[in-house]
């Protein structure tokens, strides 16, 4: 592998070409080729493999602000999805420094090899601090990331491609990362010495609508006592109700919630109207808000990281959360029968809601902690408590 000192004497083998024509030079990693997407930054210090396989990043190029990415290699256990085709998932990665050799007993593959195997383009040798500052000041830019070991680039064509890409607003990406057929889920969370185990018969039947669900979310539902059936993003109310669920989970996912809502909102509205306990996360939170009469907005830079403080009005506590979203619920748009439960302490944006008379609630952040702190695991118990109380009231 090259060193930072050696880079200064070598021609660039990768570029990040922004839609405004700016060109950022660097050195290619992973697959050769090019991809277009929205450039965001993630401030997490750990969990880069989980981030790179999070379906919520579909259509995006991730800039890692932490300089050392790849130190623990990659493995087959920390993948958050199995449906990350290049055309529908993350578009690329931007790193400050080259990837070091892995130093962890769980590592089975070097990150560079892993990127090649998943057809992901990456660039290193970039001043990620300057790029992050640009995003904070001017908002998330569209860009083309390109890797050519020969260092030959058609700059005019790349600039044109970046400028013409329409961006994530109005784009439905959930279908591209969702499962295509119903399937059960029984796997529990990872434990030292045993890895992943299978859950025993559970107390609650839960249908999870997969808009790009992460594996660890499903595992935590299993841990909490749920017998989970995963359905595609396009599942109808009839598809959901035929499972006679005790609860419905609305998963995380990528893209514009209003676009995904064109086919998903009717299902969510029917579930809520029937009084079935409903729990949403991330995109699921945004679409629950839309189903209840609220609206969503595109954010200036989004929230991406594992250190976001959130205040829970229902408990009076602050939790440190993991976030990954570029759209947000407009709290002022929520109708009178819906209340805001959580708020970001970074910018005051909405991070949670619940219906005042229906058993439905959601949060904007990722309580499954993959990666991130475990402050928010209580939300899965809150969901099972809601199902238990609803069943008791109907008995």
DSSP conformation letters of 34-82: EEEEEEEEE--SS-HHHHHT-GGGTTEEEEE-SS--STT-B-SSS-S-S
State the burial class of residue 149 (Cβ atoms within 10 Å of its Cβ: 0-12, 13-18, 19+): exposed
Find out whether 297 and 268 touch, Cβ atoms under 8 Å.
no
Tell me if residue 158 falls in helix, strand or coil: helix
Which residues have a catalytic role annotated?
282, 366, 368
CA angle, residues 223, 226, 232, in degrees to nearest 5: 110
Other CB atoms within a 10 A radius of the CB of residue 188 amount to: 18
Find out whether 283 and 242 touch, Cβ atoms under 8 Å.
no
Radius of gyration from C-alpha coordinates of the chain: 21
Phi-psi region of 265 (alpha: psi -120 to 50; beta: other; left: phi over 0): alpha
- Can you tell me the distance from the alpha carbon of 59 to that of 331, in angstroms, rounded to the nearest whole number? 26
Q: How many CA atoms lie within 13 A of 184 on its CB side?
A: 11
pTM for the structure as a whole:
0.96
Backbone angles phi, psi at 163, to 5 degrees: -70, -30
Per-position pLDDT tens, the chain of length 395: 233 444 556 899 999 999 999 999 999 999 999 999 999 999 999 999 999 999 999 999 999 999 999 999 999 999 998 664 434 589 999 999 999 899 999 999 999 999 999 999 999 999 999 999 999 999 999 999 999 999 999 999 999 999 999 999 999 999 999 999 999 999 999 988 888 888 777 799 999 999 999 999 999 999 999 999 999 999 999 999 999 999 999 999 999 999 999 999 999 999 999 999 999 999 999 999 999 999 999 999 999 999 999 999 999 999 999 999 999 999 999 999 999 999 999 999 999 999 999 999 999 999 999 999 999 999 999 999 999 999 999 88
Find out whether 26 and 117 touch, Cβ atoms under 8 Å.
no
Domains within the chain, CATH numbers bracketed: 9-164 (3.50.30.20), 174-394 (3.40.50.880)
| Tokens matching residue 264 | 């998903």
| Tokens matching residue 378 | 């209580």
CB neighbour list of residue 246: distance below 8 Å, 6 or more residues apart? 204, 205, 206, 276, 277, 387, 390, 391
Which residue, chain included where needed, has tokens 């969702």?
Answer: 178
């Amino acid at each position: 592998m090259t060193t930072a000192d050696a880079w200064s004497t070598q021609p660039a083998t990768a570029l990040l070409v922004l839609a405004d024509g700016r060109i950022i030079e660097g050195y290619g990693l992973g697959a050769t080729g090019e991809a277009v997407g929205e450039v965001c930054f993630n401030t997490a210090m750990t969990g880069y493999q989980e981030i790179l396989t999070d379906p919520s990043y579909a259509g995006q190029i991730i800039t890692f602000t932490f300089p050392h990415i790849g130190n623990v290699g990659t493995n087959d256990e920390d993948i958050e999805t199995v449906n990350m085709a290049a055309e529908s998932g993350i578009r690329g990665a931007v790193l400050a420094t080259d990837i070091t050799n892995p130093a962890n007993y769980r590592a089975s593959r070097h990150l560079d090899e892993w990127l090649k195997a998943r057809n992901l383009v990456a660039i290193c040798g970039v001043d990620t601090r300057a790029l992050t500052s640009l995003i904070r000041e001017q908002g998330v830019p569209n860009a083309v990331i390109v890797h050519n070991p020969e260092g030959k680039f058609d700059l005019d064509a790349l600039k044109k491609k970046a400028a013409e890409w329409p961006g994530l607003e109005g784009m439905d990406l959930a279908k591209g990362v969702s499962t295509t057929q119903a399937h059960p889920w029984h796997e529990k969370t990872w434990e030292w010495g045993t890895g992943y185990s299978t859950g025993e018969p559970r107390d609650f039947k839960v249908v999870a609508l997969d808009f790009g669900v992460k594996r660890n979310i499903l595992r935590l539902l299993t841990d909490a006592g749920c017998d989970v059936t995963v359905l595609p993003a396009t599942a109808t109310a009839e598809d959901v109700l035929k499972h006679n669920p005790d609860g419905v989970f609305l998963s995380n996912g990528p893209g514009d919630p209003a676009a995904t809502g064109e086919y998903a909102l009717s299902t969510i509205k029917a579930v809520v109207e029937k009084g079935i306990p409903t729990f949403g996360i991330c995109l699921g939170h945004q679409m629950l808000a839309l189903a209840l009469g609220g609206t969503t907005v595109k954010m200036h830079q989004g929230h991406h990281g594992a250190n976001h403080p959130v205040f829970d009005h229902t408990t009076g506590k602050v939790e440190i959360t993991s976030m990954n979203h570029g759209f947000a619920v407009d709290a002022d748009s929520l109708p009178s029968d819906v209340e805001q439960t959580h708020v970001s302490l970074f910018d005051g944006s909405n991070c949670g809601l619940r219906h005042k008379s229906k058993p439905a609630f959601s949060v904007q952040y990722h309580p499954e902690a993959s990666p991130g702190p475990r402050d928010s695991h209580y939300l899965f118990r809150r969901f099972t408590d809601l199902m238990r109380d609803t069943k008791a009231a109907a008995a």
